[in-house]
Amino acid sequence: MHRLWFKAALVGLGFTWSASAAPTSDAAQHLPRQSITTLSTSQIDAFTPYSYYASAGYCAASATQSWSCGANCAATPQFKPVAVGGDGDKVQYWFVGYDPTLNTVVVSHQGTDPNEILPLLEDGDATLTNLDSSLFPGISSSIQAHKGFAGAQANTASSILAAVQQAMNTYGTHSVVTTGHSLGAAISLLDALYIPLHIPSANVKFIGYGLPRVGNQAFANYVDAQPISVTHINNKEDFVPIMPGRFLGYVHPSGEVHIQDSGAWEACPGQDNTSDLCIVGDVPNIFEGDESDHDGPYNGVTMGC
């Protein structure tokens, strides 16, 4: 399904032979195996509602507005949509709503659709750029993010913010979860940084799937320093999470969970943990990856609408 995107992305991201062949940042952490922990069944199951919400991000706005988006909506019938948007082309689909069971506002963004050319170009534009100071006031100029991801987040930022504030007010909660898969995960990570800068009372959590690297070392350090919960889940030999390459200056923040071939979920501490139980060690270059792992399944949930 994603073959066209991967071909375009590899050219745009400047990959040659290995995502780890060039020197990496001194801050990239190589942690021993004993510091890696295996998630329990109950911990894994707790992610399932968010997996469905990330998957539903691929659904057209008309379907999420009425919460009639097939299996993803059927699995989360309690969800109450507040606002939706995007056209799946120039602007990724997105939705904001409230889950009364979890007592949280949910923000979800569409991932990469290989049938739409503009998202491919955004994924392939690997230039690092400063974040918009009007969206991220007070942020250091040393903090840089992928130009395409930053532009995609900026396209919906004001609408997302208004919808989150509306949902918080309507349902009386301070909890906000941003989620998404692939490009949608990248946008949602930026949302997780953006929202509390404008709504300080928001308690923000990010749960992303198949997250590509979003920014530089200063960006990863900034994410780690924020009072937000960050989890990015990688499936088996998916090579999207090792893109863009570290040789281009990109670094993942902490919070990786790696799904093994056995089905075990391993929590990998640190930034770009190089243990072979984690994605960087397991998939040292794109040729050792498997594009079919990108969509999942994530504990039974395969991304898409």
pLDDT at res. 3: 40
pLDDT higher at 134 or 19: 134
192 CB-side CA count, 13 A: 33
Q: Which residue has the tokens 């889950």?
A: 99
pLDDT at res. 296: 96
pLDDT band for position 123 (cuts 50, 70, 90): low
pLDDT at res. 9: 46
Q: CA–CA separation, 301 vs 305, rounded Å? A: 11
Q: In what order do the strands lie in the sheet with 80-85?
A: 37-38, 265-268, 256-259, 229-235, 203-209, 175-181, 104-109, 94-99, 80-85
Percent of all residues in the chain with a pLDDT value above 90, rounded to a whole number: 78
- CA angle, residues 121, 124, 127, in degrees to nearest 5: 110
Q: Does residue 116 register a pLDDT over 60?
A: no
pTM recorded for the entire structure: 0.89
Closest CA to 192 of 124, 83, 109, 121: 109
Mean pLDDT of the chain: 88
Residues 223-242 have a mean pLDDT of 96
51-106 residue pLDDT tens: 999 999 999 999 999 999 999 999 999 999 999 999 998 899 999 999 999 999 99
199-220 residue pLDDT tens: 999 999 999 999 999 999 999 9
Q: Does residue 23 register a pLDDT over 50?
A: no
**Residues paired with residue 9 on neighbouring β-strands, in sequence order:** none
Percent of all residues in the chain with a pLDDT value above 70, rounded to a whole number: 85
pLDDT at res. 126: 76
